[in-house]
Amino acid sequence: GGDRPVYYGAMDVPLSPLGELEAIEAGNYLKRFDLQHVASSPLSRAMFGARQVCDNQNESNDVVVFEGFKELDRGAWCGKTKDEIGADNLARFDACDESITPGDGGESYPTLKSRVIASRDDLLEMTNVGRASAIVSHLQVTRAMLSDALEMDIKEMAGLKIGTASITCVDYCSSTGKQTVRFQSFKPESGLEQSKDGAN
């Protein structure tokens, strides 16, 4: 993005140098947790973060890749700024007006949430009761899982504030299905400059 923040969505673009430092700090923080699995989006910027998490685990973990954790596909909006897309179009999109879903393979929030929750459930099936697994993904993917845990209306999902390389923790009860958010959008104190995420 730089001086021209654009929507990348599911485009495979690397992390910035600051983004890499943030991912390293997040990986360092997560070494205090004994993770059974480290799951990731297939996009390289998520895979970088997932490798940091794995490298800080006592066990030798391989990254488990889930296509369902890929970032929202912005379709024809990829590479465009907010001004180029238009504030009205973005507002309609955030309100889940599926008629405004961009062409060229673009996804709506309901479509995104459906695939994300399906992959999350697959990961939960792989994770033993009493153990924890981590998902390294993207802004909209985190919003999809967090909004589900909070039982939010999907039309409010876009309002969830999630920091870059932040950590959100949700407990899942295997017997009742109850979800408990322990913390959200936590960023370890690192002394790094503040990141700017102008588009996603």
Distance between terminal CA atoms of the chain? 10
DSSP string, 90-127: HHHHHTT-GGG--TTT---HHHHHHHHHHHHHHHHHHS
pLDDT in tens, 79-131: 999 999 999 999 999 999 999 999 999 999 999 999 999 999 999 999 999 99
pLDDT in tens, 17-66: 999 999 999 999 999 999 999 999 999 999 999 999 999 998 777 999 99
Q: Comparing C-alpha atoms, which of 142, 167, 159, 154 is closest to residue 109?
A: 154
> pLDDT at residue 199 above 60?
no
pLDDT, position 85: 97
pLDDT, position 2: 43
Q: Tell me the C-alpha distance between 18 and 21, whole Å.
A: 5
The residue whose two tokens read 């295997």 is 174
Mean pLDDT, range 121-147, rounded to an integer: 97
pLDDT, position 188: 83
Do 63 and 88 contact (CB within 8 A), yes or no?
A: no
CB proximity list for 2: less than 8 A, separation 6 or greater = none
